[in-house]
């Protein structure tokens, strides 16, 4: 017999707020109706978590669960950043424990093939639980009110397939203190049980340090004794790996977790770019879509990406972004740059994709007739001098002391005269060839001189991928500060062409005077 279409008024979905309960697909244990969508929102007391299990499960099967499916969300439904899994077929979902006091379950059937559906049970867990999401938040019972006496809670985090090390960060911490933390405490273990190595035991009012496990599992135990309590704690966890990375190569790229799929909620991810001394970091935003600005404040109060100059969040803020924006490149003032992604507990988006390149420190100057380029050898220590050239490979750099140097006249090395903003300028291209084997990787800088004013500019015009990194930026100011200073003899040698030029002018003037006097005397 065919199942009916979902008749009006059938009980389907709703808010479940009792401490425990059961729910099932429509008509269970009969066949569920076609073209049905049900959402159950389970809400228990704040500070608790929801434990969900399935006693029966039978839905139409599809490789990608595209027909009939059941979805479990770690929080409000339809927020893909909270999605714990999508299920169909005959294999029941594993037991779930929410990361906070809200969990949602969505059931959907299409217009073909019905099965018997599912039966599920939930209960409030006073504290603790098995947390399998990529990220989440845990709090002591009754937080931020004082936690109860004689409590013991265990949170086992991780265990999901493909998970990486876990990072745990305490946002708030206040418990009874005492030497050795023998009364109330939080203990952390580097694995699923107390037999795993202990990562720390904490009490009092000092926040525990950021903790990173060496395995994909972390056990957290909270215990209180018979008297004297405190506010307790609030902590968030996330799977490390793609969320905590350090880059030391001259170029690279990275993206938000799960990009281009929606990123998880409740994250704090850090990407640190650390280049050799003298370099600066130039970041290109290839794609970005985060949760939008607050309608109340107009600021990036929810999910946001921040860039800091240097290696820590104490450095100067280079920018803070959210929403869907097309961003200009950002360049650090030092050889380190830190990017930090914060996401809150709802409304996830696609995230971002970023590429970066190290801007080589150099001094570029010019006279009326010549270019002078100087690059510290330590910045390009792995390169032969013939990998650095102006215009053509025949104009390669020379090594002088601790610098690669190119000193060339304007009528050589592929230079050309152009008019820009009604001003005559001399332009050439500096090539730095980082290629290895078949992997071509040539960085290009445009060098420009305005001979009348003897002013030079240098611009990064192509980094790792010219088709994607087409934006250009004047780099000369910071390079003059960061590059090695040239000594007085070198500066004098640069200006000899000016002295020659002036001398020729004076000599020509004298010859003209002599010629005129000679004509008069004749």
The per-residue pLDDT for 158 is 80
CATH number at residue 450: 2.60.40
Q: Does residue 306 form part of some domain?
A: yes
Q: Does residue 49 sit in the same domain as residue 85? A: yes
Look at residue 174 and tell me if it is in a domain: yes
Confidence band of 266 (pLDDT split at 50, 70, 90): confident
Which residue has better confidence, 167 or 476? 167
What stretch of H or E contains 94? Answer: none
Co-location of 379 and 422 in the same domain:
yes
Q: What are 472's two structure tokens?
A: 């250009």
Question: Is position 521 within any domain?
Answer: no
Q: Residue for token digits 């690059």?
A: 375
pLDDT > 70 in the chain, percent: 83
Which strands, in side-by-side order, build the sheet including 129-131? 129-131, 152-158, 217-223, 185-189, 198-202
229 and 135 in one domain?
A: yes
Burial of 70 (0-12, 13-18, 19+ CB in 10 A): buried
The last residue of a domain, from among 317, 335, 357: 357
Q: Are residues 248 and 300 in the same domain?
A: yes
Q: Are residues 145 and 96 part of one domain?
A: no
Question: Of 369-383, 402-416, 420-434, 489-503, which range is least confident?
Answer: 489-503
Q: Is residue 39 in some structural domain?
A: yes
Beta strands in 224-347 (DSSP E): 232-239, 244-247, 251-255, 268-274, 280-289, 304-309, 317-321, 330-331, 336-342
Q: What is the total count of domains within the chain?
A: 4
Task: Give the structural domain span for 313.
Answer: 244-357
Alpha carbons 441 and 150: distance in angstroms, whole number: 63
Q: Do 134 and 112 share a domain, yes or no?
A: no
Assess whether 346 and 393 both reside in one domain: no
Asked if residue 431 is part of any domain, the answer here is yes
Q: How would residue 513 be classed by pLDDT, with cut points 50, 70 and 90? A: low
pLDDT, one tens digit per residue, over 395-413 is 999 999 999 999 999 989 9
The Cα–Cα gap between 196 and 198 comes to: 6
> Model confidence over 84-95: pLDDT tens digits?
889 999 988 888
pLDDT score at 482: 38
Let me know if residue 407 belongs to a domain: yes
Does residue 68 share a domain with residue 88? yes
Q: Are residues 142 and 55 in the same domain?
A: no
Quickly state the pLDDT bin for 481 (edges 50, 70, 90). very low
Residues 28 and 90 in one domain: yes
Query: Are residues 204 and 160 part of one domain?
Result: yes
* CATH number of the domain encompassing residue 195: 2.60.120.290
SS3 content of the chain, % helix, strand, coil (to 5): 10, 45, 45
> Residues 337-361: what's their mean pLDDT?
90
Type and span of the H or E element at 73: strand 69-73
Measured between its terminal Cα atoms, the distance across the chain in Å is 130
Residue 499 lies in a domain: no
Query: Alpha carbon 350 to chain centroid distance?
Result: 13
User: Which of 195, 218, 239 is where one domain is finished?
Assistant: 239
Residues 229 and 275 in one domain: no
Residue 326 lies in a domain: yes
Residue 465 pLDDT exceeds 90 = no
User: Where among 465, 491, 515 does a domain terminate?
Assistant: 465
């Amino acid at each position: 017999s065919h199942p009916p279409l979902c008749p009006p008024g059938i009980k389907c979905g709703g808010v479940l707020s009792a401490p425990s309960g059961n729910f099932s697909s429509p008509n269970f244990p009969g066949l569920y109706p076609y073209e049905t969508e049900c959402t159950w929102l389970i809400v228990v007391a704040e500070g608790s978590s929801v434990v969900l299990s399935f006693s029966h499960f039978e839905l139409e099967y599809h490789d990608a669960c595209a027909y009939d499916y059941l979805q479990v969300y770690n929080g409000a439904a339809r927020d893909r950043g909270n999605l714990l899994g999508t299920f169909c077929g005959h294999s029941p979902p594993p037991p779930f424990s929410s990361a906070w006091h809200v969990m949602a379950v969505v059931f959907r059937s299409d217009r073909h093939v019905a099965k018997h559906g599912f039966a599920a049970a939930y209960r409030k867990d006073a504290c603790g639980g098995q947390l399998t999401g990529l990220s989440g938040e845990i709090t002591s019972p009754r937080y931020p009110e004082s936690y109860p006496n004689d409590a013991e809670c265990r949170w086992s985090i991780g265990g999901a397939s493909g998970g990486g090390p876990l990072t745990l960060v305490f946002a708030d911490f206040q418990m009874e203190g005492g030497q050795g933390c023998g009364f109330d405490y939080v203990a952390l273990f580097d694995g699923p049980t107390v037999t795993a190595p202990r990562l720390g035991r904490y009490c009092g009012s000092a926040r525990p340090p950021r903790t990173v496990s060496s395995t994909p599992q972390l056990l957290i135990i909270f215990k209180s004794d018979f008297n004297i309590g405190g506010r307790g704690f609030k902590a968030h966890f996330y799977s490390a790996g793609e969320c905590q990375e350090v880059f030391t190569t001259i170029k690279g790229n990275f993206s938000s977790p799960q990009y281009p799929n929606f990123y998880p909620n409740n994250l704090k991810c850090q990407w640190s770019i650390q280049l050799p001394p003298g370099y600066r970091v130039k970041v290109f935003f290839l794609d970005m879509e985060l949760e939008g600005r607050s309608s109340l404040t107009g600021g990036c109060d929810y999910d946001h990406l921040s860039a800091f100059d240097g290696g820590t969040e104490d450095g100067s803020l280079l920018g803070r972004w959210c929403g869907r924006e097309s961003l200009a490149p950002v360049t650090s003032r030092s050889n380190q740059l830190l990017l930090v992604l914060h996401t809150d507990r709802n409304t996830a988006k696609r995230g971002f994709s970023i590429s970066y390149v190290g801007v080589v420190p150099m001094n570029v100057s010019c006279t009326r007739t010549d270019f002078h380029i100087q690059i510290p050898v330590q910045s390009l220590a792995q390169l032969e001098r013939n990998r650095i050239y102006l215009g053509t490979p025949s104009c390669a750099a020379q090594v002088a002391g601790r610098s690669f140097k190119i000193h060339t006249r304007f009528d050589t090395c592929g230079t050309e005269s152009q008019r820009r903003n009604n001003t005559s300028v001399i332009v050439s291209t500096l090539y730095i060839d980082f290629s290895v084997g078949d992997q071509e990787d040539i960085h290009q800088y445009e060098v420009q001189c305005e001979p009348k004013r003897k002013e030079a500019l240098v611009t990064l015009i192509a980094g790792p991928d010219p088709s994607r990194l087409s934006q250009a930026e004047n780099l000369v100011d910071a390079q003059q500060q960061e590059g090695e200073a040239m000594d007085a003899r070198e500066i004098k040698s640069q200006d000899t062409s000016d002295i020659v030029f002036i001398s020729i002018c004076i000599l020509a003037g004298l010859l003209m005077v002599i010629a005129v006097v000679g004509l008069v005397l004749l």
